[in-house]
Amino acid sequence: MRLPSLRGRRLVSAMLFAGAALVAGAVIGACTSDEDDQQAQATEQQQQQMEQQDQPAAEQQQEQQRAAPRAQDSGEPRGNTIQLVQDRGTLKCGVKQTQPLFGFRDDQGNVTGFDIEFCKAIAAAVLKDADAVEYVDASDASTRFELLADGQIDILIRTTTITSSRDMELDVDFAQTTFYTGQGFAVRKDSGIDSTSDMANASICVQTGTTTEQNVADHFTDIGLDYEPTGGLSQDVAAAFFEGRCDVLTADASDLASRIVVRDDADDYKILPQIISKEPLAPGVRDYDSDWKDVVNWVVHGLIRAEEIGITQANVAAMAADPPNTEVARLLGVPFGDGEVATLGFDVVDAQFIQRAIAAVGNYGEIYDREIGDAIERDCTLNALARPLPSEAVDCGPGEGGIMYALPYR
Amino acid sequence: MSEQPPIPRPEQRPLPPAPGADQRRIVLPPHRERARRPRSVRVREWVRKNLFPSTGGTLLTLIAAGIMGAIVVGIVIFVFFGANWEVITHNRWLLFAGGFPHEEAWRLWVSIAVVFALIGAAYGTWSSFGRRDHLFVLLVGGFVIFLMAHGGAAIWSTVYFLIAIGCMYLGYAVTIWMPRETSTLRTFQQRVVGGLLAVSLPLVLIILLVGGEVGPRHLDGFVLNLILAPVGIVGGIVLGIPLALGRASRLRSISLTCTAYIEIVRGAPLLGWLFVALFILDDVIGGDLIIRAMVVMAVFTGAYMAEYIRGALQALPRGQYEAAQAVGLTELQRTRLIIMPQALRISIPPMVGQAISIWKDTTLVTVILPLRELKGNADSAIAQFEFTPDRIEAYVFVAVIFWIVAFAMSRISQRVERAQGVGER
């Protein structure tokens, strides 16, 4: 082959480059202009909404606007997760697989733990099959909300704290809290530390990139002391603390308790009574999907209500066959005497959804006992029932007591 | 100690081997030949010369010996007394296959047996097992059996693993027994084994995934590493050869396209491409996340392989191209018969480096993607309440497993290099 002259070759390559650049430009342009249009529309609509707050139509429009791109991309309606889940026949539950007690895997590879029971309960309620769950690994804290927003999971149940900024800024809505905890501190008993005011210049092991880190920084600013943070993943900082590489370990008090109680030298450590933050852990669903959020909410409330009125996994079938009172009948979706079934508006999942959830995993207290048990004390903590049954009344100290309180089914 | 007279050696040293014979035998130069004395004397001399040559040297030797001794003692104490290996033995299924359905476990064992038999056949055809290879198999086999035989119910997995090792030696025995003198038969044998090796990966994927209750999303634990890495490596080579030829092409449109592919893919880390698989490929090609991860692994490895092969193409002497042209071979024949065989041979070492690298990078799928491979399942094992204090054991185990496979890859590649005469021609 005869090579063309140098100038000719330069010309050819220049033209090729130009062509490639033009094509690339056209492609990128097409994509971005599309997005710009959408963004402009969205902004316009937000302004509209702000101007006409009394018109719910604007909100509906915006919901459609947000739902539209996803629907175009994959043909899945985004605004209606219940329909999506029922059409698919499985619930995609985003769970953590590395959190002791809450979300981990057993030796046979099954995903298990406290959070996972709620996945099963919701699958039983919505799909009539507690095993119709596809567990998607959302162990990585940094991509968990993305997985939810992107539609790769239907619900996120992985020890996620409700915070105002997450609720407002991210595409996530939180349902009823399933577990209340707060940030605490663990120290060695012989360290002489009794509260954070003894921690001047102490080295503190703290998980990075979480609310935990911000809380401890804010707390020490407030009390005007310096400290040395040692950061890392939660299991790594815990190991660092137990190997004596820092004086203090800070994390959710429940996490601290579960990591200490299992150790042979558990008696050498103590958890300070001081709690510096609120960490309500709740299931998350996508924004703009109230029906789905409502169902999740009422499943959790139903499990708590079942504990309040003594419906258990063992007696739920008998209760449903012969309900002792109208409330039990309402909750389980069965007629009382010759009356009619009260659907309570849950037509989309049918009236017996709570009954199926209880039959699958038991009531809230049963889930707690089975999955957490003695590892984290429940009596007199926030996770106890707000109104203990008279027969199980526990003497709690002043300021102690539970706040698990089910909303009425009527 | 009295000076012993030199013991006359009963046999003469063998002659230096002819070129092409076993290259591993060390031939001592004549001045060393003279120094042959009883073993005890030689050992003493070696020790004095290499370990205690002077005061400073002696000091260094003692310090080094102290440090090494402390490390060894530490490891022995940890392994046999300090560690609680129950976290591993209890979770061996979780670590091995995780969520793979139990009733379909035969697919795993058949796949392993097929692969082992093929490894044996390949050794029998192109090489032979040395003493060290047997030792390696024995050690790794013992290690695996120790883990799997813990607990009565696991006895069958031990049996299956032994059968797999049996298949390997069977494949080896059959191929090594075949006469090597008859060239047509030997060529036929090489073609058969080579062909089987070429289809082994699709074959294993078919055994694992076709029919029954299993799908790609059941690939889990160590099995996921074992699938992802070969798909990345084989897919990478398959993509890399045309890319390398394309980049070297004189047609600017082709070379620009290939160059753009290589530079764009190489320009971002694998981590970034896995994010692409997670959030962008989802809408572009869809499919199961594991399939997308496989595509990304192959595409990423392909860019690197292409560059190694292109480097080899450039390293080939110009005379090879010209000679091939001179005997009237077409472009295709020239590439297939003259250029590619030499280029691939030259690029074996860097390609093996890339293969080992991608093998270790399979752990990234747990870091970025919601997939659980060996390291991810080890994280899950230490999240089991009773094993939360045992994370060192779990990570040491994972590290050893990764090392075993990487080391085996390195050794097999050395075999291939030696058989191909890399660095000798």
CA distance B67 to chain A (A): 22
List of chain A residues whose C-beta atoms are within 8 Å of the C-beta of residue B392: 239
By the CB < 8 Å criterion, does A147 face chain B?
A: yes
In chain A, CATH 3.40.190.10 sits at 84-178+281-392, 183-276
User: What is the reported pLDDT for B1?
Assistant: 43
Tokens 């033209």 correspond to A15
Rounded-to-integer distance, Cα A323 and Cα A304, Å: 18
CA distance A147 to chain B (A): 8
Q: Are B98 and A112 in contact (CB under 8 A)?
A: no
Which strands make up the sheet holding A284-285, listed edge to edge?
A133-137, A91-95, A155-157, A284-285, A173-174
Nearest residue to B162 via CA among B183, B138, B181, B184: B138
Q: Which of A53-62, A384-393, B186-195, B295-304 has the lowest mean pLDDT?
A: A53-62
Return the beta strands (E) in A247-367 as ranges: 248-252, 269-271, 279-281, 284-285
User: What is the reported pLDDT for A105?
Assistant: 93
Q: Which of A175-179, A281-285, B285-289 has the lowest mean pLDDT?
A: B285-289
User: What is the reported pLDDT for B158?
Assistant: 79
Provide the pLDDT confidence category of residue B44 given band limits of 50, 70 and 90.
confident
Phi, psi of B36 (to 5 degrees): -70, 115
**pLDDT (mean) for B353-364:** 94
Tokens, residue B369: 């993607």
By the CB < 8 Å criterion, does A97 face chain B?
A: yes
Residues 6+ apart with CB under 8 A from B295: B277, B281, B285
Q: Which of A47-51, B19-23, B129-133, B349-353 has the lowest mean pLDDT?
A: A47-51
Rounded-to-integer distance, Cα B219 and Cα B296, Å: 17
Q: Do B252 and A242 touch (CB under 8 A)?
A: no
- Range of A205-214, A253-262, A297-306, B335-344 with top mean pLDDT: A297-306
Q: Which helix (H) or strand (E) holds A293?
A: helix A290-308
pLDDT (tens digit per residue) in B146-176:
776 655 556 777 788 889 899 999 999 888 8
Rounded-to-integer distance, Cα A12 and Cα B85, Å: 66
DSSP result, A214-249: HHHHHHHHHHT---EEEEE-HHHHHHHHHTTS-SEE
| Chain B interface with A: residues with Cβ < 8 Å | 90-94, 97-100, 102, 217, 220-221, 250, 252-253, 256, 260, 278-279, 282-283, 286, 366-368, 370-372, 376-377, 379-386, 388-389, 391-392
Provide the pLDDT confidence category of residue B390 given band limits of 50, 70 and 90.
confident
pLDDT (tens digit per residue) in A223-269:
999 999 988 877 788 888 998 899 999 998 888 888 888 888 888 99
Question: What does DSSP assign to residue B129?
Answer: -
Q: Which of A231-235, B120-124, B405-409 has the lowest mean pLDDT?
A: A231-235
- The total of other beta-carbon atoms located within 10 Å of residue B142's CB is 10
Q: Which of A17, A27, A72, A104 to mutate to test the interface with B (most CBs of B within 10 A)?
A: A104
Residues 6+ apart with CB under 8 A from B414: none
Residue A326 has pLDDT above 50, yes or no: yes
Q: Are B193 and B175 in contact (CB under 8 A)?
A: yes
Q: Nearest 5 degrees, angle CA A154-CA A160-CA A165?
A: 95
User: What is the reported pLDDT for A122?
Assistant: 96
Phi, psi of A111 (to 5 degrees): -75, 135
Residue of A nearest to B96 (CA): A109
> Which conformational region is residue A327 in: left (phi greater than 0), alpha (psi within -120 to 50 degrees), or beta?
alpha
Nearest residue to A298 via CA among A388, A175, A387, A402: A175
Rounded-to-integer distance, Cα A246 and Cα B345, Å: 53
User: What is the reported pLDDT for B140?
Assistant: 85
Q: Nearest 5 degrees, angle CA B63-CA B65-CA B71?
A: 105
Q: B145 exposed, middle or buried (CB, 10 Å; 0-12, 13-18, 19+)?
A: middle
Averaged pLDDT score across all residues of chain B: 85
Q: Do B250 and A1 touch (CB under 8 A)?
A: yes
Q: B89 exposed, middle or buried (CB, 10 Å; 0-12, 13-18, 19+)?
A: middle
- The total of other beta-carbon atoms located within 10 Å of residue A79's CB is 21
Provide the pLDDT confidence category of residue B123 given band limits of 50, 70 and 90.
confident
Q: Which of A47-61, A167-181, B78-92 has the lowest mean pLDDT?
A: A47-61
Q: Nearest 5 degrees, angle CA A54-CA A58-CA A59?
A: 90
Q: Are B222 and B147 in contact (CB under 8 A)?
A: no
pLDDT (tens digit per residue) in B61-110:
999 999 999 999 999 999 888 888 888 888 888 998 888 888 888 899 89
User: What is the reported pLDDT for A75?
Assistant: 41
CA distance A328 to chain B (A): 36
B178-197 burial code (b ≥16 CB/10 A, e <16): eeeeeeeeeeebeeebeebe
Tell me the β-bridge partners of A385.
A404
Tell me the β-bridge partners of B266.
none
Phi, psi of A289 (to 5 degrees): -145, 65
Domain A84-178+281-392, what fold?
Answer: D-Maltodextrin-Binding Protein; domain 2 (3.40.190)
User: What is the reported pLDDT for B353?
Assistant: 93
DSSP result, A322-391: S-SSHHHHHHHT---TT-----TT-TTT-TTHHHHHHHHH--HHHHHHHHTGGGS--TTSTTSBSS--GG
User: What is the reported pLDDT for A381?
Assistant: 87
Tokens, residue B146: 């120790």
- The total of other beta-carbon atoms located within 10 Å of residue A3's CB is 8
Rounded-to-integer distance, Cα B206 and Cα B114, Å: 12
Residue A67 has pLDDT above 50, yes or no: no
Q: Do B98 and A109 touch (CB under 8 A)?
A: yes
Rounded-to-integer distance, Cα A343 and Cα A334, Å: 9
- Residue A101 CA neighbour count, 13 Å, CB half: 22
User: What is the reported pLDDT for A208?
Assistant: 81
What are the Cα distances from residue A7, in Å, to A3, A13, A18, B252, B404?
A: 11, 10, 16, 15, 56
Q: Which of B150, B249, B254, B384 to mutate to test the interface with A (most CBs of A within 10 A)?
A: B384
Q: B342 exposed, middle or buried (CB, 10 Å; 0-12, 13-18, 19+)?
A: middle
User: What is the reported pLDDT for A43?
Assistant: 42
The H-assigned helical ranges of B97-130 are 105-126
CA distance A143 to chain B (A): 8
Q: Do A104 and B370 touch (CB under 8 A)?
A: no
List of chain B residues whose C-beta atoms are within 8 Å of the C-beta of residue A107: 90-94, 381, 384
Q: Are A10 and B250 in contact (CB under 8 A)?
A: no
Averaged pLDDT score across all residues of chain A: 81
Nearest residue to A383 via CA among A74, A102, A67: A102
By the CB < 8 Å criterion, does A27 face chain B?
A: no
Nearest residue to A125 via CA among A246, A276, A301, A279: A301
- Between β-strands A91-95 and A155-157, what pairing exists: parallel, antiparallel or unpaired? parallel
By the CB < 8 Å criterion, does A136 face chain B?
A: yes
Phi, psi of A228 (to 5 degrees): -110, 110
The 3-state DSSP class for residue A185 equals: strand
Q: What is the ipTM of this complex?
A: 0.78
Q: Are A173 and A286 in contact (CB under 8 A)?
A: yes
Residue of A nearest to B254 (CA): A16
Q: Are A116 and A135 in contact (CB under 8 A)?
A: yes
Residue A78 has pLDDT above 60, yes or no: no
Tokens, residue A409: 């089914």
Q: Do A146 and B279 touch (CB under 8 A)?
A: yes
- The total of other beta-carbon atoms located within 10 Å of residue B138's CB is 11
Q: B425 exposed, middle or buried (CB, 10 Å; 0-12, 13-18, 19+)?
A: exposed
- Between β-strands A111-112 and A269-271, what pairing exists: parallel, antiparallel or unpaired? unpaired
Length of chain A: 410
The CATH label, of 3.20.20.70, 3.40.50.300, 3.40.630.30, 3.40.190.10, for the domain at A183-276 is 3.40.190.10
- Between β-strands A284-285 and A183-188, what pairing exists: parallel, antiparallel or unpaired? unpaired
Q: Which of A9, A107, A139, A374 to mutate to test the interface with B (most CBs of B within 10 A)?
A: A107
pLDDT (tens digit per residue) in A114-123:
999 999 999 9
Tell me the β-bridge partners of A18.
none
Dihedral sign of CA atoms A130, A133, A137, A138 in order: negative
Rounded-to-integer distance, Cα A184 and Cα A273, Å: 7
By Cβ distance, the residue of B94, B260, B385 closest to A262 is B385
User: What is the reported pLDDT for A23?
Assistant: 53
